[in-house]
Amino acid sequence: MNYDYIIIEGNIGAGKTSLTKMFAEQFNAKLILEQFADNPFLPKFYENPDRYSFPLELSFLADRYNQLKKDLSHRDLFKSFTISDYYFMKSLIFSKSTLQDDEYNLYRQIFDIIYNQLPKPDLYVYLHLTTDNLMKNIKKRGRDYEQNITEDYLRKIQNSYFEYFKQQKDFRILILDTNNVDFVNNKEDYKLIIDAIFDNEYKIGTNRLVLK
C-alpha cells in the first residue's frame, strides 16, 4: 500500500464517514473528519436555501481550510497514513450547486486563492449511490435537519461531482459504485472495498469500479 493521504468522499448519505472510520481503526491511520454538526448555518440552509447558501458555503470554506491546514501540516509518525472523509474541493462542488452565479463567481475567487496551499491526496475515492439509495440512508440515520433534503438537490450535488471529475487531471480518482454492497453490516462487502482500494494500481485521472 503506497498511499500516504487518502480521501473518502461521496454524496450526502453515501457512507463516507462510516467507511473512513472503519479504515482508520483497522489500519491505524490518522483520522480527519469534517466538523459540520456545529455549523449554525446548516439547519437554516435546509429550511431556507436561498437566504443562507452563501454564508453557509463561506463558513464551510473557512472551517475546512483551517482544519486541513492544521491536520495535514505535520505527519504523525505513529500512524500508517492519513485518511479523511472530505476534500477541500468539496467546497467548490457544493457551492456550484447552491449559489447564484454572481455569488459563485465571488466564492470561486476566494477559493482559488487558498486551494493551492493544501496538499493533494494520493488517492481520492468517491462512493457512488443512486439518489434513491441516498434518500433511504438519510431517512435511516434520522438527522432532523436533513429530512428536508430532496432528490433534486442530491442529483445536483452528484452532477457537480461528476463535472469536477471530468476536469481533474492532477491525482488519482476512484469512483466506487457501492449500490450493490453493504460494507457497514457485511464483512465480505467491506473486504471488497479494501481490495478495491489497497490492492490495485490506478492511473492519474478518473478510474471507475462497480462492486458486486
Confidence of residue 1 (pLDDT cuts 50, 70, 90): low
Least confident of 16-20, 93-97, 159-163, 200-204: 93-97
Determine the Cα angle at 4 with ends 124 and 21, to 5°: 65
* Beta carbons within 8 Å of 157's beta carbon, 6+ residues apart: 11, 12, 93, 94, 97
Q: Is the pLDDT of residue 39 over 90?
A: no
pLDDT of the residue at 37:
63
Beta strand 205-210 with 172-177: parallel, antiparallel or unpaired? parallel
pLDDT of the residue at 75:
78
For residue 140, give the CATH number of its domain. Answer: 3.40.50.300
pLDDT digit string, tens, across residues 50-92: 999 999 999 999 999 999 999 998 878 889 999 999 999 999 9
Q: Number of structural domains, the chain?
A: 1
User: Radius of gyration (Cα) for the chain, nearest Å?
Assistant: 17
Q: Is the pLDDT of residue 31 over 90?
A: yes
Residue 40's SS3 state is: coil
Taking residues 8-26, report their average pLDDT: 96
Q: Is the pLDDT of residue 38 over 80?
A: no
Q: Which residues are known catalytic residues? A: 85
Q: What percent of the chain stands above pLDDT 70?
A: 99
pLDDT digit string, tens, across residues 45-58: 989 999 999 999 99
Determine the structural domain holding residue 151 and report its residue range.
5-210
Confidence of residue 148 (pLDDT cuts 50, 70, 90): confident
In 117-161 the beta strands, taken as DSSP E runs, fall at: 123-128
Taking residues 160-173, report their average pLDDT: 92
Confidence of residue 170 (pLDDT cuts 50, 70, 90): confident
